[in-house]
Structure formats: structure tokens, C-alpha cells
Amino acid sequence: NAGVTQTPKFQVLKTGQSMTLQCAQDMNHEYMSWYRQDPGMGLRLIHYSVGAGITDQGEVPNGYNVSRSTTEDFPLRLLSAAPSQTSVYFCASSYLGLKDNEQFFGPGTRLTVL
């Protein structure tokens, strides 16, 4: 199993550009999510999904869109990048409904918006 994979690892954008961060998992997890991590801070939830076709907002959803057309993939779209979106983005996945539930994190995408 590859686990949770993310591409690209690094990206530099100019203000106003759009792009999609890719996330995939091969563990057949129902739950997937996107977090951002800013320097000196913990992770904050952007969007999450509990299954194909179902998405919802987290703590900091503004400026980001998601979709979940398959169980495996959960892309994050930046519609018009802003310097405030400079951050490290982590995708995570887990099973649903298990009480003792471990969430698996991807390696991260480091995004800089100039």
C-alpha cells in the first residue's frame, strides 16, 4: 500500500493563479480531509469528506474548493491564490465509525504564493 499520497511536494504560485493539490489513498478509507499548517501553529481543517459525493467545510474553508468523485481521490482547488494561502497542506484519511480510529496523513505539499 502506498498509503496517502500528495502531489506536488512543492509549488510556487503568483497571486491570482489557480491550481489543484492532489491527494489519493489506497486504503479504501471513507473519510478524507485537508488541513493547512502555518508556521508555529497546529493544523487547521479546511474541508472534509465522509464518502464519494459528500463534502463539507472545516474551520478555514474560504478560498478553497473540494470534490470527491471517487473513494480514492480528494483534490483541493485554490480558485485564486493569495499570499495568505502560503502554507503546508496535508491530506489525511481514515475509516469511519471505528471508535479507536487512526488518521493517516500524507507527506504534505509546501505552497508559496507570491
Partner 1 sequence: ELKVEQNPLFLSMQEEKNYTIYCNYSTTSDRLYWYRQDPGKSLESLFVLLSNGAVKQEGRLMASLDTKARLSTLHITAAVHDLSATYFCAVDRGYLRSGANNLFFGTGTRLTVIP
Residues that bind partner 1 (CB under 8 A): 31, 33, 35, 40-45, 48, 50, 58-59, 90, 92, 94, 96-108
Tell me how far, at minimum, the Cβ of 43 lies from partner 1, in Å: 5
Closest separation between CB of residue 35 and partner 1, Å? Answer: 8
Give residues with Cβ within 8 angstroms of 43, minimum separation 6: 35, 36, 37, 90
Q: What is the smallest separation between the CB atom of 63 and partner 1, expressed in angstroms? A: 19
Which residue in the block uniquely carries the three cell numbers 480510529?
101
Residue linked to cell 472545516: 58
Measured distance CA(86)–CA(70) in Å, rounded: 28
The DSSP letter of residue 12 is E
CA angle 109, 6, 65 (to 5 degrees): 75
Rounded least distance, CB 101 to partner 1, Å: 6
Neighbours of 82 (CB within 10 A): 14
